[in-house]
Amino acid sequence: MKNKGQVMTGAEIFFECLKKEKVEHIFGFPGGSVLKLYEQLYDIDFLQHILVRHEQGAVHAAEGYAKASGKTGVVLVTSGPGATNTVTGIADAYMDSVPIVVFTGQVPSHLIGNDAFQEADMMGITRPITKHNFLVRSVEELAITIKKAFYIASSGRPGPVVVDLPKDVINSKCEFVYPDNMEIRGYKPTIKGHSHQIKKAAEAISKAKRPLLYVGGGVIMSGGSQELALFARENKLPVVMTLQGLGAFPGTDDLSLGMLGMHGTYWANQAVDNCDVLVSLGARFDDRVTGNCETFAKNAFKIHADIDPTCIDKNVIVDIPIVGDVKHILAELAVEMPKPPDIKDWWSQIYEWKDECPMQYEDNDGRLRTEYVIEKLSEKTNGNAVIVTDVGQHQMWTAQYYKYNFPRSNITSGGLGTMGFSVPASIGVSFAVKDRPIISISGDGGFQMNIQELITAAAYKVPVKFIIINNSFLGMVRQWQEMFHGEKYSFTDLSASNPDFVKVGEAFGIESFSTDSPKDVDSLLDKALSINDRPVLIEFKVVKDDLVFPMVPSGGSISEMMVKRINSKRMTLL
Q: For this structure, is 519 an active site residue?
A: no
Cβ contacts of residue 304 below 8 Å, gap of 6+? 280, 285, 311, 312, 313, 316, 318, 320, 321, 322
Choosing from 167, 302, 327, 403, which is the catalytic residue? Answer: 167
Please tell me the distance from the alpha carbon of residue 513 to that of residue 504, in angstroms, as a whole number.
Answer: 11
Choosing from 476, 561, 562, 571, which is the catalytic residue? Answer: 476
Band of residue 4 on the pLDDT scale cut at 50, 70, 90: low
Q: For this structure, is 6 an active site residue?
A: no
Task: Tell me what pLDDT residue 567 has.
Answer: 57
Domains by residue range for the chain, with CATH: 7-175 (3.40.50.970), 195-356 (3.40.50.1220), 370-549 (3.40.50.970)
Mean pLDDT on 120-146? 98
Band of residue 2 on the pLDDT scale cut at 50, 70, 90: very low
What is the C-alpha R_g of the chain?
24
Predicted TM-score (pTM) of this structure: 0.96
Task: Tell me what pLDDT residue 370 has.
Answer: 98
Choosing from 24, 118, 236, 564, which is the catalytic residue? Answer: 118
Lowest mean pLDDT: which of 151-165, 235-249, 403-417, 552-566? 552-566
Please tell me the distance from the alpha carbon of residue 69 to that of residue 357, in angstroms, as a whole number.
Answer: 37
pLDDT, tens digit, 9 for 90 and up, residues 78-90:
999 999 999 999 9
Q: For this structure, is 379 an active site residue?
A: no
Task: Tell me what pLDDT residue 572 has.
Answer: 53
Within the chain, how many helices (H) and strands (E) appear?
23, 22
Choosing from 22, 46, 117, 298, which is the catalytic residue? Answer: 117
Band of residue 569 on the pLDDT scale cut at 50, 70, 90: very low
Q: For this structure, is 461 an active site residue?
A: no
Band of residue 5 on the pLDDT scale cut at 50, 70, 90: confident
Average pLDDT, the chain: 96
Q: Does residue 221 have a pLDDT over 90?
A: yes
Q: For this structure, is 481 an active site residue?
A: no
Choosing from 12, 55, 375, 539, which is the catalytic residue? Answer: 55
Q: Is 249 left (phi over 0), alpha (psi -120 to 50) or beta?
A: beta
What is the number of other CB atoms lying within 10 angstroms of the CB of residue 343?
20
Cβ contacts of residue 435 below 8 Å, gap of 6+? none
Structural contact between residues 497 and 570, judged by C-beta atoms closer than 8 angstroms? no
Mean pLDDT on 567-574? 50
